[in-house]
Structure formats: structure tokens, C-alpha cells
Amino acid sequence: MDAKNLRDLVGFDPEEPARTDVFESDRLWSELVCLERNQQLGPVSDPDSDAVFLVVAGEVVMQLGQRRKRLKQWGVLLAPALGEVTVTNASEDPAVVLVVAAPPPTPRSGARSEAG
């Protein structure tokens, strides 16, 4: 069994969203995205993977296609395969989002971190 404390993975980069892989298996992939004020991730998508975006801290605006939704801590969004998602920090405070996708997205989709 593999276990981690997400707080140990939180870190920010003033230049771009910080992305850290959490877990990866043949059937599931997850990463933690840390956004400073005014930072944005995306758009990201994958033709074969559904993804869940969970706001762990802060407040973000999630855009899925042409629809937008403001989510605070513990808010969650389901993005179906082929859905293009953009995550933008919507407050002056940092934001942290956990992304879980199944099956693991392909590296060329942009959904994976460069380390993945």
C-alpha cells in the first residue's frame, strides 16, 4: 500500500502552476496543481480519460468547454473525456487542486505533468 500526505506535495512557482504527480498506475493517474494568484492551468484535455478536479484549498474558476463554474475548497468538477478544462485561481490566496484521471491521460494531451 502506498500512502502520502498531500501537504508534503504543496509547493508554488511564481512563474507557472506547480504540478506534482501524486500516484500513477496502469488504470489511474493523479497530480496536485498549486496555483498562485492569477495563475492558470490549461486548457488541458484527453480523448480517452475522464478526470475529477477537487479544490483542496482556495477558490478557482473551472471552465469546461464554454461553461464556467466558481468552486471553493472541497468543490469538485467531473470533466468527461474530450472535455477541455481550464483552471484559474480566482482569489488573492494560493489555490491547490487535486486532479485524478482514469485511465491515465496520454503525455501528449497536456493533462499530465512534464515529469509524468
d(CA 74, CA 44): 21
Provide the whole-model pTM. Answer: 0.87
Band the pLDDT of 106: cuts 50, 70, 90. Answer: confident
| pLDDT at residue 110, rounded to an integer | 54
Give residue-wise pLDDT tens across range 49-78: 999 999 999 999 999 989 999 999 999 999
Is 61 part of any domain?
yes
Task: Let me know the angle formed at the C-alpha of 16 by 8 and 48, rounded to the nearest 5 degrees.
Answer: 80
- The answer as to whether 115 is a domain residue is no
Q: What is the CATH number of the domain that holds 50?
A: 2.60.120.10
Residue 112: is its pLDDT beyond 60? no
Q: Given a cut of 90, is residue 8 above it in pLDDT?
A: yes
What's the mean pLDDT when you consider all of the chain?
Answer: 90
Enclosing domain of residue 46: 18-109
Domain assignment of residue 12, yes or no: no
Answer with the residue of higher pLDDT: 110 or 4. Answer: 4
Cell of 17: 502552476
Number of domains in the chain: 1
pLDDT at 45: 87
Q: Considering the domain boundaries, does residue 52 fall inside one?
A: yes
Query: Measured on CA atoms in the order 71, 73, 76, 77, is the torsion positive or negative?
Result: positive
